[in-house]
Amino acid sequence: MHTDHAAVMLGTGTRVSDPASRRRVLKFQAPEIVFGEHSMIEAAYSVGRLGGRRPLLVTDAGLLSTPWVDELAGHLRSQGLAPHIWSGLTPNPKDHEVAAGHRAYRENGCDVLIALGGGSVIDAAKGIAILAANGGDILDYEGIDRADLPIPPLVVLPSTAGSGADVSQFCVVTDTARRTKITIIGRSLVPDVTVVDPRLLTTMPTELAAATGLDALTHGIEAFVSLGHNELTDHHALRSVALVTRNLLRTMEEPASILHRTAMAQAALEAGMAFSNAILGAAHAMSHQVGGMLDLPHGVVNGVLLPHVVRFNAVVDPESFVPVAVAMDLPEQTAAPVEAAAAVARRIERLCADVGIPSGLAALGVLDADVPRLAAGALQDACMSTNPRAADAAEIEALFRAAM
């Protein structure tokens, strides 16, 4: 919690910490980042520099209908590389799809992975990379640092503005037998290079832009209030909150505006850097259960859950939400912290309504009878450990019911 180490809040929404917390050792993981319009060709240069000759280009059916796969494959060929394109995955990548991708990697003698797509594509590529080096079943690697052997080089090009998978040390895969999502965490899963070309965002379907933008907002807010936050993650978290609040709706009103797309690309990138290092909280722990059970868009579930989790967490730590209110440019930023936190929750709800996502879990197909199982799963999720307020099963069940 931010007040625990006597953080001093400044009017601008940034903070300076006391000397004791300054003495902590901080670590910050991030890939090499290339950012800007027409930066795509840099991915081909990176692959060559990393020693790859035969890339497995992981993408999905949606991306195959855009110009980007052909453009990237052309850049790779112009650098003397022979890519094999594999697109056999679905949203919320499944354990058996990762296994199939790994077979394609081996059968084609690949030596480097390139992911062109959203979070599902990038997570699938990370899963394939783990299996390429370590063998076995992807579900064997659930948890922190379970894959020992170094993975092949990984170059990613995000086509959505939200998942953060292009910068994070996280890989989320659906366990189809248990109908839940497992989280694999490891420093080696941070890609070597992420190439963020905002042009790629202009071909996103509108619903995907809404869902992934809300995911980025959830990353920013959960990372900022996380027990794992620090001075190196806070400004990235707040910056992402400000950028999403100002730009998400505009990208949907003006889909071709590269200005707003670039702002959302930066939002997703900064949110990803924040949460990969600060970890997340209860919204993600709960969302992983709902998403695993019903195969729903991750960002939509997050958007529904987040205001409820904000209210729950603000009971013990309202001060942490004041800088969030500042980032969102809310007039309540000067009110009492509890009022600022309540205003943050309301602003999230308004944004969700503006971008057209349902206001409750029931509309997404969640039944009251599902709640005990969902709550039990959330308590086991790795993201729960950094939520600023501890919760028991009854409290998580109440949160799920509040969000129905």
Nearer to Fe ion, 62 or 299 (CB): 299
- The nearest distance, CB 211 to Fe ion, in angstroms, is 10
Minimum CB distance to Fe ion, residue 302 (Å): 6
**Distance (Å, whole) CA 163 – CA 212:** 6
Other beta carbons less than 10 A from residue 235's beta carbon: 16
Nearer to Fe ion, 86 or 224 (CB): 224
Q: β-pairing, 112-117 with 170-175?
A: unpaired
Minimal CA–CA distance to 189: which of 170, 162, 174, 164? 170
Residue 209: which of 275, 147, 297, 276 has the closest Cα? 297
Kindly state the smallest distance separating residue 151's Cβ from Fe ion, in Å: 22
Q: CB-wise, 110 or 384, nearer to Fe ion?
A: 384
Q: Which stretch binds Fe ion (CB under 5 A): 15-23, 35-43, 202-210, 213-221?
A: 213-221
Which residue stretch of 20-28, 102-110, 173-181, 215-223 sits at the interface with Fe ion (rule: CB under 5 A)? Answer: 215-223
CB of 284 to Fe ion, least distance (A): 6
Least distance (Å) between residue 372 CB and Fe ion: 24
* Nearest-approach distance from CB 181 to Fe ion, in angstroms: 11
In the complex with Fe ion, which residue's Cβ is closer, 57 or 301? 301
Q: Is 192 in the site for Fe ion (CB under 5 A)?
A: no
Find how far residue 217's CA is from the centre of its chain.
9
To Fe ion, the closest distance from the beta carbon of 381 in angstroms equals 12
Which span (100-108, 123-131, 137-145, 207-215) binds Fe ion, by CB under 5 A?
207-215
Residues touching Fe ion, count (CB under 5 A): 1
Task: Pick the piece of the chain touching Fe ion (CB under 5 A) from 177-185, 211-219, 256-264, 382-390.
Answer: 211-219
* 270 near Fe ion (CB under 5 A): no
381 binds Fe ion (CB under 5 A): no
Q: Which is nearer to Fe ion, 197 or 215 (CB)?
A: 215
Q: How far is the CB of 239 from Fe ion (least distance, A)?
A: 17
Beta bridge partners of 182: 173
Query: Which residue, 215 or 317, is less far from Fe ion as judged by CB?
Result: 215
β-partners of residue 33 are 194
- Minimum distance of Fe ion from residue 213's CB (angstroms): 11
- Toward Fe ion, which CB reaches closer, 215 or 381? 215
In the bound state, the residue with its beta carbon closest to Fe ion is: 215
Maximum alpha-carbon separation in the chain: 62
Residues in 64-83 that interact with Fe ion by CB under 5 A: none
Label the pairing between strands 112-117 and 55-58.
parallel
215 belongs to the binding site for Fe ion (CB under 5 A) = yes
Q: Which is nearer to Fe ion, 60 or 215 (CB)?
A: 215
215/234 with CB nearer Fe ion: 215
Query: Which residues in this chain contact Fe ion in the complex, by CB under 5 A?
Result: 215
